Amino acid sequence: MIEMIIDAHMHYFNVEGFDELARLADHENSRRGWQDICETNHIAFSVAMGNSYDAPCRFGGVTPRLINLGGEPFCVQPYNQPDNVGYCLGVQSEEITPGNAERTAMEFEYYLQRDPHCLGIKFYMGYQNVHLYDPRHEPLFELAKSYDVPVAMHSGETANHHGRLRYSHPLTVDEAACRHPDVRFVICHMGNPWIVDAFEVASKNENVFMDFSGLWEHRLTPEREREIEDFQKYVRMWLTYHGIWDKIMYGSDWPLVNIPDNIRNLGKIVPEEHWGEFYYDNALRVYSRIKIIKTVTGS
Ligand SMILES: [Zn+2]
């Protein structure tokens, strides 16, 4: 039985395209819509990947992308987003240069320093044509290390034509993770379709984890559920082969997917005896700042 869930990868952003995605998944892309989903599906906390509006510039660097699903513009103090939603600062790698990299880190530090809801840093490799291990990211990796927050990377297929797939390959995480053994890395979407590569990188490196978000889309029809059965068996086979139960996290990529469909179908990949780790415990360890936010610990 699944008692409580942390959604380790969703989006909290009110743009037209996302409104339409939510409709296709039988949901509503709104604050109320998300809170209703959380209540009915035992989602105690969710990690939103910042891809929304640009933060104001304070230090002359490239500013992070934040979250905002309507209402007042994002504010750190007091935090004006729901208490059960934290976020990763989104990186616009193509705009970072050797000249502004340090000042960019200062823009990011502003949030890490002031806001316990700021949980990590999200890189959009494949959407941004830059390798994760590019030297321009070094000051951001240093920040992740000093604030003990993970670095998440988009990995695998992309949803537009600007991106080049070689940047989103999970093997690129091996290079960054080896150079930074003190930083936790998350391969988002388990590198789909380079799943075997992603599993190998996570298995080899103690500091590499994966989220299982965005593996299908919209509301699943019974036909579609049957079509993905072989895919689910394939992933389960490799997962069992490696036995990396401490490395995997539940994620949705909401509003891309229908949430009850997603919870049920990911449960077919992960054996029931590992649901506790998959749906909850591992995310609490990787996005460790969640522990200091009241809603989960109850303290
Ligand atoms: Zn995403």
Query: What domains lie within the chain, and their CATH numbers?
Result: 5-297 (3.20.20.140)
Question: What is the distance in angstroms between the CA of the first residue and the CA of the last residue of the chain?
Answer: 25
- pLDDT at position 244 is 98
Which residues have CB under 8 Å from 12's CB, separation 6+? 34, 46, 48, 52, 67, 68, 69, 81, 85, 87
Local structure of 110: helix, strand or coil: helix
Question: Which residues are close to ligand 1, an ion, with C-beta < 5 A?
Answer: 253
Beta strand ranges found along the chain (DSSP E)? 5-10, 43-49, 85-91, 118-123, 151-153, 185-187, 208-211, 248-249
Q: Mean pLDDT, to the nearest integer, of 240-255?
A: 97
Local structure of 85: helix, strand or coil: strand
- pLDDT at position 73 is 83
Q: Mean pLDDT, to the nearest integer, of 247-270?
A: 97
User: 123 vs 78, which has greater pLDDT?
Assistant: 123
DSSP state of 290: G
Count of CA atoms in the C-beta half-sphere (13 A) of 160 = 9
How far, in Å, is the centroid of ligand 1 from the Cα of 100? 26
Q: Mean pLDDT, to the nearest integer, of 219-244?
A: 97
- pLDDT at position 292 is 80
Q: Given a cut of 90, is residue 164 above it in pLDDT?
A: yes
Share of the chain above pLDDT 70, in %: 98
Q: Decide the pairing of beta strands 118-123 and 85-91.
A: parallel
Which amino acid is present at 33? G
Q: Mean pLDDT, to the nearest integer, of 110-130?
A: 97
- Phi, psi (deg, nearest 5) at residue 78: -75, 150
How far, in Å, is the centroid of ligand 1 from the Cα of 124? 9
Mean confidence (pLDDT) of the chain: 95
Q: Given a cut of 70, is residue 41 above it in pLDDT?
A: yes
Q: Given a cut of 50, is residue 8 above it in pLDDT?
A: yes
How far, in Å, is the centroid of ligand 1 from the Cα of 109? 22
Which amino acid is present at 73? P
Q: Mean pLDDT, to the nearest integer, of 77-105?
A: 95
How far, in Å, is the centroid of ligand 1 from the Cα of 154? 7
Q: Given a cut of 70, is residue 217 above it in pLDDT?
A: yes
- pLDDT at position 70 is 84
How far, in Å, is the centroid of ligand 1 from the Cα of 19? 15
The β-bridge partners of 202 are none
Q: Given a cut of 60, is residue 298 above it in pLDDT?
A: no
Q: Mean pLDDT, to the nearest integer, of 247-273?
A: 97
How far, in Å, is the centroid of ligand 1 from the Cα of 16? 16
Q: Mean pLDDT, to the nearest integer, of 148-176?
A: 95
Q: How confident is the model at residue 296 (pLDDT cuts 50, 70, 90)?
A: low
- pLDDT at position 105 is 98
Q: Given a cut of 70, is residue 297 above it in pLDDT?
A: no
How far, in Å, is the centroid of ligand 1 from the Cα of 25? 15
How far, in Å, is the centroid of ligand 1 from the Cα of 49? 6
- Give the separation between CA 130 and CA 244, rounded to whole angstroms: 29
- Give the separation between CA 138 and CA 175, rounded to whole angstroms: 13
Give yes or no for a contact between 123 and 136, defined as CB atoms under 8 angstroms apart.
no
How far, in Å, is the centroid of ligand 1 from the Cα of 273? 27
- Give the separation between CA 271 and CA 267, rounded to whole angstroms: 7
- pLDDT at position 2 is 86
- pLDDT at position 295 is 59
- pLDDT at position 16 is 82
How far, in Å, is the centroid of ligand 1 from the Cα of 299? 30
- pLDDT at position 173 is 98
How far, in Å, is the centroid of ligand 1 from the Cα of 10? 6
- Which residue is associated with the tokens 């559920």? 225
Q: Mean pLDDT, to the nearest integer, of 188-205?
A: 98
Q: Given a cut of 90, is residue 85 above it in pLDDT?
A: yes
How far, in Å, is the centroid of ligand 1 from the Cα of 52? 12
Give yes or no for a contact between 52 and 44, defined as CB atoms under 8 angstroms apart.
no
- pLDDT at position 294 is 61
- Which residue is associated with the tokens 């109320």? 32
Give the distance, in angstroms, between the CA of residue 186 and the centroid of all CA atoms in the same chain: 8
Q: Mean pLDDT, to the nearest integer, of 45-60?
A: 92
How far, in Å, is the centroid of ligand 1 from the Cα of 120? 14
Q: Given a cut of 90, is residue 246 above it in pLDDT?
A: yes
Query: Can you spell out the DSSP letters for 156-219?
Result: S--SSSSS-GGGG-THHHHHHHHH-TTS-EEEGGGGTT-HHHHHHHHHH-TTEEEE---SS-BS
User: 169 vs 297, which has greater pLDDT?
Assistant: 169
Structure tokens at 268: 């077919």
How far, in Å, is the centroid of ligand 1 from the Cα of 253? 5
Taking alpha carbons only, the member of 297, 295, 298 closest to residue 39 is 295
How far, in Å, is the centroid of ligand 1 from the Cα of 9? 6
Structure tokens at 275: 């649901």
